[in-house]
Structure 1
């Protein structure tokens, strides 16, 4: 979303920058799509003491707490701030702040000094010696540096400086870190640590010539900050090809864009040949699992992450009975009423 809105300050080959951004935004369907909260906001929240879950699912903004007439509490998600912005962009509506952000974004992207990474790397590298000959080796060096038991205060200070934390936040988190017995930063601020680890590898990789000095690499790098919130990461970017697998856990998948697109084309062809079944039962019924007659990388992912799916795919989806529907609505009604009351008050 940051990269798309940045195009507002870009000269369009056809039409206007606004029409170009609207077209890009329109490619993201609101059905089954959830924008993640911005990584800088997550870092700020973690430093303030709010844990960031990193279990392969997106973190969505805009949650509202509601209390029913019977005293039950729940959390309601309407449109998140990111979803609202995306919908506006699809309609070609942009506010002044977004135009200003686009100008700053593109200006910063052009002013990134990659030579600074090279100078910094020379400063820490013994003369005539290589820190590492590959990115995987270099990540080991980064981990030794960041996880050094005697230098955790330095690691914490580096993280706070790297992500532009105000002095008040720095004092706050250092005080709490000391109160908790000065634990390793890897466990004390796990998400902030992940982002710092990604950035450190990139900076040293550029400095050693293991990563190219293409200016847009700094922008592309930010996608890797969201790896903890996905099960599968797919990309056509060479930087992602090199770096993403190094930061994924064993249960996560990295799929090259060409392989994913080939699999999706097979699915499209299959559903085109089965229009009648699709129309009769709907996509959520007929297409809830990949076709058993095919074998693609998508099937491999399902086999690994949802090992029961082939058996479940053989069982027809049950329709909800009228009695079950009534029971569900009876449970939901107090919550819906509480949401309605909150909306009427303008909360």
Structure 2
């Protein structure tokens, strides 16, 4: 498994299906809700464009390129921020927050969690067949509405009440510094929270409880009290300040949707995008351990990998990617290998001296995973990081179910003879 990578729609659209296979294989993609919002927005395109394709055609094409081998759908930023404000810890160490984990307990008492196939993954499977459910369109509409319908005069007044003057900003670094300073200090907590409520469209019934909890903690700086909620506020403030300073165009209506990808930076190691706004604005928010990668550069590198692995004998390729393409090919100066060296240290040693598994060992692992996923939900435990919950470090085992096609584009993802060896085996993996 490679680096955890946040990506935007523009990147996936730029890839061929074969290139998307290698992105899925050599990264662990963070499929964030904004990607779904942007994808489903194409359904509103009722007439064919220059390409001759209508909105449904575009969505099917994107669905064909969407990661299936690895990666995970990320929880929506509003849900994460609200949980954070109510006392839930949100890890911001590059891991992807996932919803829907089902706690289980094996007969020998081992604790585990099973992530069944996500609703998002099922949706993309349907979209590949051209089946679009109205509820999915409604969810995307609601999410996009939250991002695009904002009372700008009210926001401007609240920003002014915080003493922020956009005219003082000459660069995006200046805008970032002002936003960071605000969430790290104790001044004007009510004005800060009022802005966060407005940006997140927080239902009024939550306001009193959130403010009461913060007041009990003596209005500790938001960056300390609720770090993820503070990050969301910082991104929003940065955007409004940069707009006011004419560092970002106010004429492009999609800019607020695009900037929202930055909400998900804490859950990635690499951010891949072909959007100029992202290239301009992501850098101040990236940690020293993170990278921004321009989409065209990674596309070229994935194309190179595709060509190199295409030289392998047919018999090797038919074994499936997991067998014959365990690591990227190239020199240490190639982009993909640089990213692997930086974010997955130790992979070269593991690749140089792999530990082979016998057929019997593989069979036992598959059986154990099958037993785990078939266990009933254990009502006596709750997974998570809240009070009394079972945290990830306390789990003995975890399984993520995926529906994986045997072949995608030119490549066998699973062994070509899988059905021959196991007549009843579906094209899925756990």
- The alignment's TM-score, normalised by the length of structure 2, stands at 0.69
Q: Is 1:176 aligned to residue 233 of structure 2?
A: no
Contact 1:263 1:298 in 2 (8 A): yes
Indicate which of 201, 221, 225 corresponds to 1:164. 201
Indicate which of 4, 21, 26 corresponds to 2:64. 26
Matched length: 339
Residue-by-residue CA offset, 1:210-264 (whole Å, 9 max, x unaligned): 1112111111111111111111111110100011111111111111112211211
- Stretches of structure 2 that go unaligned for 5 or more consecutive residues are 1-35, 380-430
In 1: Cα distance, 2:46 partner to 2:329 partner? 43
Contact 1:9 1:17 in 2 (8 A): yes
Contact 2:158 2:191 in 1 (8 A): no
Contact 1:46 1:191 in 2 (8 A): yes
Matched position secondary structure for 1:52: coil
Shift of 1:329: 6.2
What is the match of residue 121 of structure 2? 83
Q: Rate the CA distance shift 1:98–1:278 in 2: closer, same or farther, 3 A.
A: same
Matched position secondary structure for 1:65: strand
Q: Is 1:315 aligned to residue 350 of structure 2?
A: no
Indicate which of 41, 49, 54 corresponds to 2:87. 49
In 2: Cα distance, 1:109 partner to 1:55 partner? 25
Structure with greater proportional strand content? 2
Q: How does 1:248-263 map to 2 (within 5 A)?
A: 248-263=286-301
Q: How does 1:198-209 map to 2 (within 5 A)?
A: 198-209=235-246
Q: Rate the CA distance shift 1:110–1:228 in 2: closer, same or farther, 3 A.
A: closer
What is the match of residue 3 of structure 1? 38
- Stretches of structure 1 that go unaligned for 5 or more consecutive residues are 343-347
In 1: Cα distance, 2:247 partner to 2:113 partner? 46
Q: Is 1:149 aligned to residue 182 of structure 2?
A: no
What is the match of residue 12 of structure 1? 47
Matched position secondary structure for 2:187: helix
Residue-by-residue CA offset, 1:51-107 (whole Å, 9 max, x unaligned): 222111222222112233444432111112222222222222222233345566777
In 2: Cα distance, 1:184 partner to 1:200 partner? 16
Q: Rate the CA distance shift 1:4–1:171 in 2: closer, same or farther, 3 A.
A: same
- The alignment's TM-score, normalised by the length of structure 1, stands at 0.85
Contact 2:104 2:114 in 1 (8 A): yes
In 2: Cα distance, 1:49 partner to 1:120 partner? 25
Give the root-mean-square deviation of aligned CA atoms. Answer: 3.2
In 2: Cα distance, 1:35 partner to 1:106 partner? 17
What is the match of residue 68 of structure 1? 106
In 1: Cα distance, 2:47 partner to 2:148 partner? 18
What is the match of residue 227 of structure 1? 265
